[in-house]
Structure 1
Amino acid sequence: MTDTLRQVHAADQATPGRPRAEGTALILLGIVLIAANLRLSVSATGALLDQLGSSLHLGSGVESFLTAVWPLAFAVGGVSGSWLARRYTAGTVIMWAVAVLALGQVVHSLHDTPALVFGSVLAGLGIALANVLLPVVVRQYFPDKVGPVTGLYAMVLSAGAAFAALASVPVSEHTHNVDAGLAVWVVPAVIGLVAWIAARPQRAAHPTNAAVAAPAAHLPLRQLARSPLAWSMALLFGLQSTGAYVVMGWLPTVLSDAGMSASKAGVVLSAIFFIGIPINYAAPHFGARMRDPRPLLTGLSLASTIGFTGLILAPNSLVWLWAFILSFGMATFPLVLALFPLRGGTPEGTAALSTFSQSVGYLIATTAPLGFGLLHDATGSWTVPLLLIVVATVLQAVVGLYVASPRRGTVS
């Protein structure tokens, strides 16, 4: 993070008409603190799913919905990101998004099934808008550092998910209250909100660079709907999200059914994210600089294929090996994020492509965690659901070969 800050300061001081260094440094800090919050609730809910089910007497259908509600909320909330950013600026929308996230975390920590579901939806909507618009802020304020800055916030996002997976179960056990394992994550959301308000990205631009501070120009989503590249980006995002949300939502339950304790299953989930911290930084950093990122994207996709296959063959005895390999597979997410500014071309193109791809992609991904649990109930085993995820990771690699080709242009 220190190196990235130094690079940002140097670039800002050397380029006339760019946002002042002190402004961009605050914005970078705000990006980091908000990114730390973007998977806390998701990871905590997955780690506590068994305990929540027992405490609230949830049926398998409700548990499946709780794992699917995140990508569903991301799909619904994300579609409005481009329009809201055009009307109010990306910085302003992100501020309100984090406030909604914090409110949702408060609501879903109440000991009540409707509150758990509704609070998760609220938190998911807040995360959705931040997911869609953080790449826009990166493209606006750090156009020459897209890879390093994307890698930085992806690395912090992974660290937040890891910490939530590791700490949520111990917090609930220490307090003898499963809801405390959810409520504790309101605190970092408030800290991120305060930091973002202090950074004021919508006003931090130099007066001579009004285009940066102004709302983005409009690129209609219907224009993207005619673009094979945009649909391919959406499919790629949806396929990588499919595997990611199965890991975050169902892995602890899969491991518990294989004979592992809930606390150890949470440690395994957190290990995937902790190991992935440097990988999540390196993948977009190098991917954005590579002339042809296809080998990197294919390798990460195949890591997911191997990891999920391993969970079928030896879910307990070799679990640490599969956790290590899946850490590489999960790094597909930040690499795809780095492709948004590169394939978007302009800030407005990035906003539209990010909105379109994440909304459609998360809608695709919604079926995975929901169907994953229902398939388990129908077959009495995790084998068939895991096999379908293996197929999705192979398809992800194929689509990635198209999207990451150096012959592909931009949508704008």
Structure 2
Amino acid sequence: MANITPSFKLSIKQGRVLILISILVTSFNLRTAVTSLTPLVEKLHESFEFGNFLVGVFGMLPTMAFAAAGIVTPAFMRKINLEKTVIAAMLFAFIGLLLRSYSMNIPFFLASSLIALLGMGMGNVVLPPLVKRYFPEKIGSISIYYIVILQIGTLLPAFTAVPLANLVDWRFSLGIWAVTAFISLALWLYVWFAYPAMREASVASSSSNNKAATPEIHNNEEDQLENHKTQGKVWRAPLAWGLALMFGMTSLNTYSMFSWLPRIFTSAGATQVFAGNMVGLFSALGLLSAFLAPLAAVRLKNPLPFVLICIFCFVTGYLGLLFAPLAAPLIWVTLVGLGPSTFPFALTLINLRTRTAQGSASLSSFGQGIGYLLSCAGPLMFGLFHDWFNNWHAPFIFLGFCLCVLFIGGLIVSKPRFLEDEW
């Protein structure tokens, strides 16, 4: 066993626990810049006096930043490595969140938000290959852990944003999440600088524990990066496009509901408080999805039925919202809230459909980059269709078409295959 320095020895088991904690804390920070902002739009309007167009920009900025991160993150991983990439991601998130809380005008606010969101987008991409690298024999369980924590990190800022702003001010409410980003940054810096031998030993342990289940994990990361250059072009693989369609269409439907669900209920006669509670319910159901989807991906030989169930939930919930939104709102929102289970399902498939950490990194960056780029159109097109036709039928027909595309993506990724066999 390699000696661990500097002041005491850390066992392989302890090292892997530390890395797992680092992964979980990072996952908590991947949505805080998004959900801490939405409840504070009215308070920001009082400070900066912006119009409805800028509200739309706020809504599109996360998916645009995540798409950009999906494109640039592979370059980081090729130039440096996974650990340094996640350090850079959390550094961007920390700096962006901190600067945003000191914004004195809208351009500075948008620029600092973009920095934070780019860091979080990089974290989206790098987490799956980190799980593949350190825990290849526990992909399903570790995926559940970090996706659940991600959902908690999505819910908590949304529920605490207004109370914290009322207690102090909106700057404190937004800036407090820089603290959790700094904690994640500090953990990875500790892993990288204090215990390099522990990282090597942890990877070696993961590889030896999983020899019967997965191909060999390279201990030499430079060899992995060199292999990545010669293995092929990810965009040539049908699997990569199928995953991108799943990510994109799931995110498109999800962000459309985040943006327009309150308006759907208030236009039907519900109060703003009731509409806000329905959005909260829609968000909270992500926790249930975080448990169910990875299990389905791991245990089902053919996971396509799970995708069909999710699409059925979307369609049934949409029909209820369209024709009788106040007849059974809890049922409709619950169904629509379970539909996005295809997102954690796709996150888990990244590792199940690749043989190496480098394959996982390539599939993660391509799938999420292209997927988020596609999803940018969701809230905007939903609103435009509503304005053009002056009803909710056309927007939901648009979402129905996107669900057909989601089915095609699910059909592709559900077939047993590996990325490395296709590129």
**What TM-score does the superposition give when structure 2 sets the normalisation length?**
0.83
Change (3 A) 1:253 1:125: farther
**Kept in 2: contact 1:40–1:185 (CA 8 A):** yes
Preserved CA contact (<8 Å) 1:141 1:212: no
Q: Establish whether residue 35 from structure 1 lines up as the match of residue 46 from structure 2.
A: no
The one of 78, 100, 111 equivalent to 1:118 is 111
Check whether the contact 1:97–1:129 (CA below 8 A) recurs between aligned residues. yes
Structure 1's consecutive aligned runs of 4 or more residues displaced over 6 angstroms after TM superposition are none
Aligned match for 2:329, one of 306, 319, 324: 319
Q: Which of 353, 369, 388 lines up with 1:343 in the alignment?
A: 353
Instruction: For residue 34 of structure 1, give the secondary structure of its aligned residue in structure 2.
Output: helix
Q: Which moved more, 1:223-232 or 1:254-263?
A: 254-263
- Compared with structure 1, are the counterparts of its residues 260 and 275 closer, same or farther at alpha carbon in structure 2 (3 Å cutoff)? same
Question: Where in structure 2 are the equivalents of 1:13-92 lying within 5 Å?
Answer: 20-53=12-45, 55-92=47-84
Cα 1:265/1:190, change in 2 over 3 Å = farther
Distance of aligned partners of 1:49 and 1:146 in 2 relative to their CA distance in 1, 3 Å threshold? same
The gaps in structure 1 that reach 5 residues or longer are: 1-18
Alpha-carbon distance between aligned partners in 2 of 1:298 and 1:389, rounded to the nearest angstrom? 15
Measured on the aligned residues, the alpha-carbon RMSD in Å equals 2.8
Residue type at the aligned position of 1:172: A
Equivalent residue for 2:200, pick from 202, 205, 212: 205
Q: Conserved in 1, the CA contact under 8 Å of 2:133 and 2:203?
A: no
The whole-number CA distance in structure 1 between the counterparts of 2:170 and 2:392 is 26
Change (3 A) 1:381 1:30: farther
Shift of 1:93: 0.9
Bigger radius of gyration among the two: 2
Partner of 1:170: 163
Question: Is 2:12–2:202's contact at 8 Å kept on the other side of the alignment?
Answer: no
Higher mean C-alpha displacement, 51-60 vs 128-137:
51-60
Alignment match of 2:93 (pick from 101, 104, 112): 101
Q: Which amino acid aligns with 1:337?
A: L
Show the counterpart of 1:144.
137
Amino acid at match of 1:206: A
Partner amino acid, structure 2, of 1:399: G
User: Per the alignment, in what secondary structure is the counterpart of residue 353 of structure 2?
Assistant: helix
The amino acid across from 1:359 in the alignment is G
Give distance in 1, aligned partners of 2:167 and 2:383: 29
- How big is the shift at 1:169? 2.7
Segment of structure 1 superposing worse, 251-260 or 166-175: 251-260
Cα distance change of structure 1 residues 180 and 260 upon mapping to structure 2, 3 Å threshold:
farther
The answer to which of 135-144 and 95-104 deviates more is 95-104
Residue of structure 2 equivalent to 1:12:
none
Aligned-partner SS, 1:345: coil
Matched with 2:6 is none
2:174 paired residue number: 182
Query: Post-superposition shift, 1:249?
Result: 4.0
**Matches of 1:370 and 1:80, distance apart in 2:** 25
Further displaced range: 394-403 or 362-371: 394-403
Judging changes above 3 Å, is the alpha-carbon distance between structure 1 residues 48 and 318 closer, same or farther for their aligned structure 2 residues? farther
Give the TM-score, by structure 1 length.
Answer: 0.85
Alignment correspondent of 1:4: none
Are the equivalent residues in 1 in contact too, given 2:242–2:408 (CA < 8 A)? no
Q: Structure 1 residues 287, 262: closer, same or farther in 2, change over 3 A?
A: same
- Return the alpha-carbon distance in structure 2 between the equivalents of residues 381 and 52 of structure 1: 30
